[in-house]
Structure 1
Amino acid sequence: MVLMGGYGGAWLNDVWRLPYGETTWLCVNASSVWSARYGHTAVAMPDGSIVLMGGASTVLNNDAWRSTDGGGNWTCVNASSGWSRRYGHTAVAICRTGASYSWAGLTLPGT
């Protein structure tokens, strides 16, 4: 299980992992390259990578980031995706095709 970012008195961009069968969380990355945020969504892809999308902090985001090592290192897949900036959305990965879909969420007027 992987926990990324959120809000705990301040916006966060950390990554934590709970190995299967364990009870202790491990800090994988204390400060990821993606901006601190909450209300984002993430999916585990069939190839084992993690994709993080959107979210909010001082602005709404519509970026997408990918990690192939469990959240330690991230690559920007798209700094400004085709969908509107949003937070509180959801996403799902389709194992058969390797596609991911994101929908719904909240936006602000003019974003």
Structure 2
Amino acid sequence: MDSAKKMAQIAYNAMDDKKAEDIRIIEIGEISTIADYFIIANGTNSSQVQAIVDGVDEALSKEGYEPQRIEGNRSSNWILMDYGDIVIHVFSKEDRLFYDLERIWRDGKTLSVEDLQ
């Protein structure tokens, strides 16, 4: 399994453990040089958004993956975690609807977590 797929799977599972809503994995490697995968999810409030981010950071760090950068802070409604091959977006519900990244990246291929295995 390549490292991008492994990272995406770890991130997905960590998000799922923190009860993130509507987790989407979008394969964008064929249409963009930004990353191989976008993973998008939302929390129900700012505390849950932060818990999701902390959970992902901890799970990936345990496997030796460190973020190149994290944009946003504890009071943000959108936190971006850039791991190079994967970029994770964790939103508040309202901001996710507003920014609608799934529509912007609709040329990417939406995957299930099983597709990563």
Report if TM-score (shorter chain) is over 0.5: no
Q: Which structure carries more helix by proportion?
A: 2
TM-score, normalised on structure 2?
Answer: 0.29
TM-score, normalised on structure 1?
Answer: 0.30
Q: Which structure carries more strand by proportion?
A: 1
